[in-house]
């Protein structure tokens, strides 16, 4: 317990101390965000805001994990592996955007390929160590063993979570705030499943994100960039896979799911309407859906706070369903 408290304090305090020293460095190196020209006009003032703040988050999580957590736990090893690989991917994407001074980073296929390699290695390793990892909890029913189909299913969950959090990171504090809520919810689930190492890991993530939110709140002094969002989403998806709670992730991470779904609907409807009507039409005013509400007149702060509230209630709902699962399997 003492080590856990130390990890929590170190993660939070270190972020608050590191932030003011790292931000000037990012500005000096001209690691500024390029804002999408067709986005909300209010976002144009963010042009040049330092990005790659995810380096602080991921670096701190890795450091506290090695220092305080049980590195012999194979599930924790998988979480750190996926986080590390997707952080590298995010860094490459951010670097490409900075050097090109464009919103276009590395290719989508390259992203999916690297995420697939990391998630395949994670899923295969977990299944090799313990085939019972293929059991998925289903609320009000119990568990279903996916067998060999667990590996592609786990890959889908991890890749989907990574990209969903990435899409959510479009407003000041939105992704980091929702990550805090989701991590605390999964922390409770991990404790109920006696996954102490993962619970401690999630506490480190929540503390680091909470500290980062101090600088990322509107008006943001720094963005986490793809370096942070892709890796945090990948870590959250991996935790869900490790705890058989992939379906609960859809509920607890409902905000992330809604953001990703809105993009798929927007792109799909645009293509369908072009065939039906001869021109592409939009289902939402703008996607991801947080931009839709901005276009509807909500301020950036209103969108963030309301989405945080929704995330909180979805987390509570997920915990209730998780408790039902525990009753059924016990």
Residue in 235, 217, 216 with CA at minimum distance from that of residue 225: 216
pLDDT, position 179: 97
pLDDT tens, position by position, 1-41? 666 777 778 888 888 888 888 888 877 776 666 666 556 66
Provide the mean pLDDT of the chain: 89
- Whether the CB-CB separation of 224 and 243 falls below 8 Å is answered with no
pLDDT of residue 202: 95
What integer pLDDT is reported at residue 75 of this predicted model? 95
**Cα(first)–Cα(last) distance of the chain, in Å?**
26
pLDDT in tens, 120-141: 999 999 999 999 999 999 888 8
pLDDT above 80 for 117? yes
Q: Output the DSSP codes for 270-315.
A: HHHHHHHHSS---SSSSSSHHHHHHHTT--HHHHHHHHHHHHHHHH
Which pLDDT score, from 0 to 100, does residue 1 have? 63
Q: What is the mean pLDDT of residues 61-81?
A: 90
Query: Cis omega before residue 7 (within 30°)?
Result: no
Gap between the Cα atoms of 23 and 51, Å rounded: 9
Q: How far apart are CA 110 and CA 89, in angstroms?
A: 9
pLDDT tens string 57-68: 999 999 888 888
Closest CA to 76 of 203, 235, 206, 213: 235
pTM: 0.93
């Amino acid at each position: 317990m003492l080590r856990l408290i130390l990890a929590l304090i170190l993660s939070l305090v270190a972020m608050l101390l590191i932030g003011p020293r790292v931000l000037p460095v990012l500005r000096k190196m001209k690691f500024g965000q390029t804002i999408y020209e067709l986005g909300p006009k209010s976002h144009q003032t963010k042009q040049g805001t330092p990005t790659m703040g995810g380096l602080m988050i991921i670096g701190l999580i890795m450091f506290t994990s090695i220092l305080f957590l049980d590195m012999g736990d194979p599930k924790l090893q998988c979480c750190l592996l996926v986080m590390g690989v997707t952080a590298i991917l995010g860094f490459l994407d951010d670097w490409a955007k900075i050097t090109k001074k464009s919103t276009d980073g590395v290719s989508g296929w390259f992203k999916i390929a690297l995420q697939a390699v990391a998630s395949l290695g994670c899923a295969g390793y977990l299944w090799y160590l313990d085939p019972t990892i293929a059991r998925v909890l289903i609320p009000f029913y119990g568990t279903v063993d996916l067998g060999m189909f667990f590996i592609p299913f786990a890959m889908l969950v991890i890749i989907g979570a990574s990209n969903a959090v990435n899409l959510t990171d479009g407003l000041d504090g939105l992704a980091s705030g929702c990550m805090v809520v989701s991590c605390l919810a999964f922390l409770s689930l991990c404790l109920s499943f006696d996954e102490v190492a993962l619970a401690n890991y999630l506490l480190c993530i929540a503390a680091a994100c909470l500290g980062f939110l101090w600088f990322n709140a509107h008006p943001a002094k720094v963005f986490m960039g793809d370096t942070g969002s892709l890796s945090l989403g990948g870590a959250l998806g991996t935790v869900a896979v490790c705890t058989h709670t992939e379906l609960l992730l859809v509920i607890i991470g409902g905000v992330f799911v809604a953001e990703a779904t809105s993009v798929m609907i927007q792109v799909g409807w645009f293509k369908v309407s072009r065939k039906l009507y001869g021109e592409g039409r939009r289902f939402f005013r703008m996607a991801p859906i947080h931009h839709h509400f901005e276009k509807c007149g909500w301020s950036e702060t209103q969108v963030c706070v309301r989405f945080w509230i929704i995330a909180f209630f979805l987390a509570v709902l997920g915990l209730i369903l998780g408790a039902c699962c525990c009753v059924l399997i016990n």
